[in-house]
Amino acid sequence: MDTVQINWTEGVIRFNMISQSGNKYLDKNGFYCLLGARFDSESETWKDYKLLYIGQAFDQTLRERIPQDHTGYKCVFEYPNKNPGTGIVVMVGTVEKTNIQKITQDLFNDAECCLIFRNQSTCNEKCKENYSGRELQVINTGDFSPLKQECTCSAKVINP
């Protein structure tokens, strides 16, 4: 079974601050999650995360990819309207290690699909009903909540 370990950076970034953020991981390729969240002004932190969308950027940086239009974004941006007092924040992760010789677009596609399938993000459309990629284990490290720590996927598995 192939494995991919994704290290999620500490903290989240407000969606509309992606271009101005000093987060160096935004200038790499990797994975991202869009979350609905509530800002707690007392502790000055985002809380009550709701996983809305999982995406990836293989041939461009996360900073370039995240703001681009996606079909699932309509659903994402409806979340604050339906849940007053919430906003959209982004968490980003990069591949820390893998047992595969060469990291390819196909590997990124399979890892993204496995994350979606196992975590059932609200606004993703593909990969929610089944997984058809390679046998893969995605291990999330760092600040990965609300994702599951381990996501194991096989083309034989039909139900999340």
pLDDT tens per residue across all 160 residues of the chain: 999 999 999 999 999 999 999 999 999 999 999 999 999 999 999 999 999 999 999 999 999 999 999 999 999 999 999 999 999 999 999 999 999 889 999 999 999 999 999 999 999 999 999 999 999 999 999 999 999 999 999 976 555 5
In this prediction, residue 156 carries a pLDDT of: 62
In this prediction, residue 155 carries a pLDDT of: 75
Whether 158 is in a domain gets the answer: no
Whether 47 is in a domain gets the answer: yes
Q: Is 42 exposed, middle or buried (0-12, 13-18, 19+ CB in 10 A)?
A: exposed
Whether 114 is in a domain gets the answer: yes
Whether 20 is in a domain gets the answer: yes
Whether 87 is in a domain gets the answer: yes
In this prediction, residue 159 carries a pLDDT of: 53
- Which domain range does residue 54 map to? 2-153
In this prediction, residue 126 carries a pLDDT of: 94
Which tokens belong to 12?
């989240």
Cβ atoms of 133 and 156 closer than 8 Å: no
Nearest CA among 52, 127, 141 for reference residue 96: 141
The total number of structural domains that make up the chain = 1
Whether 160 is in a domain gets the answer: no
CA atoms within 13 A on the CB side of 137: 10
Whether 112 is in a domain gets the answer: yes
Whether 61 is in a domain gets the answer: yes
